[in-house]
Amino acid sequence: MKIISSPAEMQQTALELKRSGKTIGLVPTMGFLHNGHLSLMKLARPECDVLVVSIFVNPAQFGPNEDLDAYPRDFERDESLCKGEGVDIVFYPEPGNMYFSDASVWIDEEALSPGLCGGSRPGHFRGVCTVVAKLFNLVLPDLAVFGEKDAQQLRVLERMVRDLNFPVRMVRGPIVREADGLAMSSRNKYLNAEQRQQALCLKQALALAESLVRGGEKSVANIRQQMVVLIGTVPGAEIDYIELVDDETLARVENVESETLVALAVKIGPTRLIDNAVLHP
């Protein structure tokens, strides 16, 4: 397994691989890898000749009061996990080498980004789209795998690929959870034992929405209200948003009549966690 930290060397290597007819798969991550990330590598591995994992805590997608500096990092552990998944190249750039100090070109997706996480994190998807476009230009992947855990991110990036004609096949990886249902996340590291228990309310609220819909409930107002009540019973949990939106357009819906994405962000103490599910009426 090769570790490349220079963007120019990454691009040169990718160009040579492409010239020799190799297909390239990319799994972009911010590191501090867990089984969710590894599941994406397992999906990509048989689909490409050369598997690249990028590890980059992207400053452009963090707001001024967010956890950029505190974000957990452990490169040595990540490296050995990547080896275990048969990764060929880890691309591990320094922030200073990824962005020019006077960078002035950014990618703004305008339809799917404003709500949900984009509402609470202004500029977040601009940072995500821009870094993923840069990674695509440096790694030249034939396919890229992203997790359903970040449902809005996935849809925004699929739109970017469509609208800007990136020659990249986008693959969706299902959400990987802990045994008790908590969606795996690098940020779970911030939780103490009590908060770890409280964090189960995200998945419980989603399960409640799913069971209401299975029971024939269609009203988004009713479903949402019951989710709010459930989370309200958990001390230390503060709702950032709970939304039920059309799975494709991410526009709010009043009734669950077609595939509906139910997505939520909840703060457990200082830690903001997200989760989602697709409701099938």
Tell me the closest approach of the beta carbon of residue 147 to ligand AMP, in angstroms.
Answer: 2
Both structure tokens of 75: 């490169």
141 binds ligand AMP (CB under 6 A): no
54 binds ligand AMP (CB under 6 A): no
Task: Out of 68, 175, 230, 239, point to the residue binding ligand AMP (CB under 6 A).
Answer: 175
Q: Is 37 a catalytic residue?
A: yes
Tell me the closest approach of the beta carbon of residue 69 to ligand AMP, in angstroms.
Answer: 16
173 binds ligand AMP (CB under 6 A): yes
Q: 237, 270 in Cβ contact below 8 A?
A: no
Tell me which residue has tokens 């609220």. Answer: 205
Task: Centre a 10 Å sphere on the Cβ of residue 181 and count the other Cβ atoms it contains.
Answer: 14
Nearer to ligand AMP, 107 or 144 (CB): 144
Tell me the closest approach of the beta carbon of residue 28 to ligand AMP, in angstroms.
Answer: 6
Catalytic residue among 34, 37, 124, 280: 37
130 binds ligand AMP (CB under 6 A): no
Nearest residue to ligand AMP on Cβ basis: 147
29 binds ligand AMP (CB under 6 A): yes
Nearer to ligand AMP, 184 or 261 (CB): 184
Nearer to ligand AMP, 87 or 220 (CB): 87
Tell me the closest approach of the beta carbon of residue 108 to ligand AMP, in angstroms.
Answer: 20
Tell me the closest approach of the beta carbon of residue 72 to ligand AMP, in angstroms.
Answer: 10
37 binds ligand AMP (CB under 6 A): yes
Sign of the torsion angle spanned by Cα atoms 26, 156, 242, 263: negative
Best CA proximity match to 88, nearest among 10, 159, 19? 10
Size of the site for ligand AMP (CB under 6 A): 17
25 binds ligand AMP (CB under 6 A): no
Residues 6+ apart with CB under 8 A from 225: none
184 binds ligand AMP (CB under 6 A): yes
Which listed range, 11-19, 108-116, 183-191, 212-220, lies at the site for ligand AMP (CB under 6 A)? 183-191
Nearer to ligand AMP, 93 or 147 (CB): 147
Burial of 153: CB neighbours in 10 Å, binned 0-12, 13-18, 19+: buried
Distance CA 170, CA 144 (A): 5
Residues that bind ligand AMP (CB under 6 A): 29-30, 36-37, 39-40, 146-147, 149-150, 173, 175-176, 183-186
Show which residues are catalytic. 37
